[in-house]
Chain A
Amino acid sequence: MKPKKLLPIYIALITVLIISALLSLSLGAARLSVHQMISGIIGTKGFSYERTIMLSVRLPRLLSSILAGIGLSLAGVILQSVMGNELASPNTVGVSSGAGLAAVICLSLFPSLSHLLPIGAFFGALGTSILIMALSRIIGGGKATIILAGIALSSLFGASISFFSVLDTDVLASYSAFSVGGFSGVKMSDLTLPAILILICVFLAIALSKEIAILSLGDTIASGLGISPNKIRVISLMIASLSVASVISFSGLLGFVGLVVPHITRKLLGSELKYQLTAAPLVGASLVTLSDLAGRIIFAPSEISVGIIMAFIGAPFLFVLLLGRREKNNA
């Protein structure tokens, strides 16, 4: 795609994100005007109604949804490129479940060390990524093997999470919300470390985009072009795992973002990885923000978790994707 065509798309994506953010700050159980939103954020009154809503509820929630959208979309783009499979995502290859299991183990064994949750989730995600790659190499059988191995591992990790939850009633109480994914109760202080880590992941992924794009052509071509396939693969998986783990540490197991967003981005901007890596975070942030907003206003004042809304969007999208593939195969 030529740069002349790219610019309007990027401007549109940024505009959609800004509008989504403003709507997210304004709408909910209580509706705030633009003036109330501004005075709530930068106002000097100590405990005004607007200020409490904005700083304690809406702003952390908006930042959570933006960060979750960025982190999971980025991981989705990386996993699909490195694994050479358009169906790969943090959920379908079991990376999210691996991170979730590690998080639950941390909660269960070290309840006082909750700040270690992102680190535990990172090792869970990374371990699962490496395990998936190793299994698909040992078993062979092509791209479907990765997804099948991911499904098997997800089931295993899901059962393990349930097992730990049953053993520890404190974990069981938080597991239900954790497994669906959502942002209620997230505080600004919970977001500092994940925000730093996710931004680092975005910069690293963009810096490595050329190498990841070459790796997507296969090990032989990559090696022939002077790239060490295993080294780039492991670094890429570490970036994706860190990104997923950072999101999971505050949002729980939020599904489908990493699967859906790379496809939307590909439709909008084509398959060039550098465009996908820069546009997918914008698309992901808007999608999660709007989904979270929908969850808050559809049955207000009751709330539907963003994870449930994403599943309602993501599952039909997957069916459309599979139907598209069938038509392509029949063509």
Chain B
Amino acid sequence: MLEFKNITLKIGRKTILDSVNLKAKKGRITALIGKNGSGKTSLITTACGLSHYDGEILLCGKNIQEYKNKDRAKIISFLPQMMPETSISVYSLVSMGRSPHLGGMGILSKTDKEAILSALRITRTEELSGRSISSLSGGEKRRAFLALLLAQEAPLLILDEPNAYLDISYSSELCTLLRELCDDHKKTILVIMHDISEATEIADDIAILDGGKTVFYGTKNELLATETIENIFGVKRYKAYDGDKTKIFFS
């Protein structure tokens, strides 16, 4: 659905991305992992149209630069790592997600309102809809911004460390929600994750960036069959058994 082909990004003389190739396949979760400064965020911002790069990004087989902004926003939605500070209500925030679908007058139709309510329901933020964003906890705020993305009804979600700064219970809840979005709502998800264990648990495909280069791209099973993670991140692999399920942790 989204394909980065030979993406090179330079800021001044520094090369941030060096011929990066990866795909976010339809109906799958692709996790993008890598050390700090490996170019993960820079890569996804190229798809937002916020930076100039060499190479090609294909969205549904068509060069992303050929899309009009609004048309692109109907297919692809972004959630940055840093949540902006705002005091508007959750409902107002989520209703902004309908922006690509609205006409010149900007009036919400019945379909728009249904999409907003559906997004609030999926992210379990219905009860928060009247509250100000600034009054929410970290986890609630993440869910509210995720609802904004869902109201957009784009089939592809790009998320930059959605579980950053969240405690373990909120983080686990968010991972479950991402899996539900993929399995039940047929969303394609490209997500940057800092926790390798969580990434290997929820993702179908994994890409690893190191020093601005793709050092691995493949399915989770292909990755776990090698010692790539251990070699790049200098971590050890542990297995935990829960009944007939086996969980893999890196630490």
Query: Which of A84, A216, A227, A266 sits near B99, CB closer than 8 Å?
Result: A227
Cβ 8 A contact of A271, one of B45, B73, B88: B88
Question: A224 with B84: in contact, given A271-B132, A272-B92 (CB under 8 Å)?
Answer: no
Is the CB of A221 closer than 8 A to any CB of chain B?
A: yes
The interface residues of chain B lying within 8 Å CB-to-CB of A271 are 86-88, 132
Number of interface residues of B (CB under 8 A): 37
Contacting residues, chain A, for B100 (C-beta < 8 A): 225-226
Q: Are B99 and A214 in contact (CB under 8 A)?
A: yes
Does B106 interact with chain A (Cβ within 8 Å)? yes
The answer, among B84, B89, B96, for a CB contact under 8 Å with A225, is B96
Interface residues of B in 88-110 (CB under 8 A from A): 88-89, 92-93, 96-97, 99-100, 102, 106
Asked if B96 and A218 make an inter-chain contact with CB atoms under 8 angstroms apart, the answer reads: no
What residue in chain A is nearest B76 (Cβ atoms)?
Answer: A224
CB distance from B14 to the nearest CB of A (A): 15
Residues 216-251 of chain A, each 1 if its beta carbon lies under 8 Å from chain B, else 0: 111111011111110000000000000000000000
Complex alpha-carbon distance, A225 and B94, angstroms: 12
Interface string of B123-137 (1 = CB under 8 A from A): 000000000100000
User: Chain B residues with Cβ under 8 A from A185's Cβ?
Assistant: none
Are A224 and B78 neighbours in the complex by a CB distance under 8 Å?
A: yes
Kindly list chain B residues whose C-beta atoms are within 8 Å of the C-beta of A227: 69, 99
State the interface size on chain A (CB cutoff 8 A): 21
Chain B interface secondary structure, helix, strand, loop or mixed?
mixed
B48 partner, pick from A210, A220, A270, beta carbons under 8 A: A220
B152 within 8 A of A: yes
Inter-chain contacts of A214 with B (CB < 8 A): 96, 99
Contact indicator B69/A228 (Cβ below 8 Å): yes
* B84 engages A223 (CB within 8 Å): no
Task: Give A214 to B45 CA distance when docked, in angstroms.
Answer: 17
On whether the beta carbons of B72 and A217 are closer than 8 Å, the reply is no
Q: Which of B50, B99, B158 contacts A219 (CB 8 A)?
A: B50
Q: Does A213 belong to the interface (CB within 8 Å)? A: yes
Q: Provided the pairs A214-B99, A271-B88 are in contact, do residues A221 and B69 lie with their beta carbons within 8 angstroms?
A: no
A271–B87 Cα gap in the complex (Å)? 6
Do A225 and B86 touch across chains, with their CB atoms under 8 A apart? Answer: no
B139 part of interface (Cβ distance < 8 Å): no
Q: Which residues of A contact B145 (CB under 8 A)?
A: 221
Q: A223-B48, A225-B73, A226-B100 are in contact. Are A217 and B84 (CB under 8 A)?
A: yes
A221 and B78 CA atoms in complex are apart in Å by: 6
Residue B163 at the chain A interface, CB threshold 8 Å: no
Chain A residues contacting B76 (CB-CB under 8 Å) are 224
Chain A residues contacting B158 (CB-CB under 8 Å) are 224
> Is there an interface contact between A224 and B48, defined as CB atoms closer than 8 Å?
yes
A2: nearest residue on chain B (CB-CB)? B130
Bound-complex Cα distance A226 to B106 (A): 14
B80 in contact (CB, < 8 A): yes
Set B68, B78, B93, B132: member contacting A220, Cβ < 8 A:
B78
Q: Which residue of the partner chain, among A224, A228, A270, contacts B87 with CB atoms under 8 Å?
A: A270
Contact of B97 with A225 in the complex, beta carbons under 8 Å:
yes
Provide the residues of chain A in CB contact with B84, threshold 8 Å. 84, 216-218, 221
Give A127-153 interface residues, CB cut-off 8 Å to B.
none
Looking at A213, A220, A224, A228, the one whose CB has the most chain B CB atoms below 10 A away is A224
List the A residue with the shortest CB-CB distance to B134: A271
Nearest-CB residue, chain B, relative to A213? B96
Instruction: Please tell me which one of the listed residues B50, B106, B149 contacts residue A223 in the complex, with CB atoms under 8 A apart.
Output: B50
The chain A residue sitting closest to B145, CB to CB, is A221
Contact yes or no, A224 B96, CB < 8 A: no
Closest residue on chain A to residue B99 by CB atoms = A225
Taken together as a complex, chains A and B put the C-alpha atoms of A221 and B151 apart, in Å, by: 13
Q: Judge whether B88 and A272 touch: CB under 8 Å.
A: yes
B237 at the interface (CB under 8 A from A): no
9 closest A-B pairs by beta carbon, nearest first, are A226-B73, A224-B78, A271-B87, A226-B70, A220-B80, A226-B100, A226-B69, A223-B48, A225-B99
In the assembled complex, 29 residue pairs joining A and B whose CB atoms fall closer than 8 Å, in A order, are: A210-B96, A213-B88, A216-B84, A217-B96, A218-B82, A218-B84, A219-B48, A220-B45, A220-B80, A221-B78, A221-B79, A221-B80, A223-B69, A223-B78, A224-B73, A224-B76, A224-B79, A224-B152, A224-B158, A225-B73, A225-B77, A225-B97, A225-B152, A226-B69, A226-B72, A226-B73, A227-B99, A266-B87, A272-B89
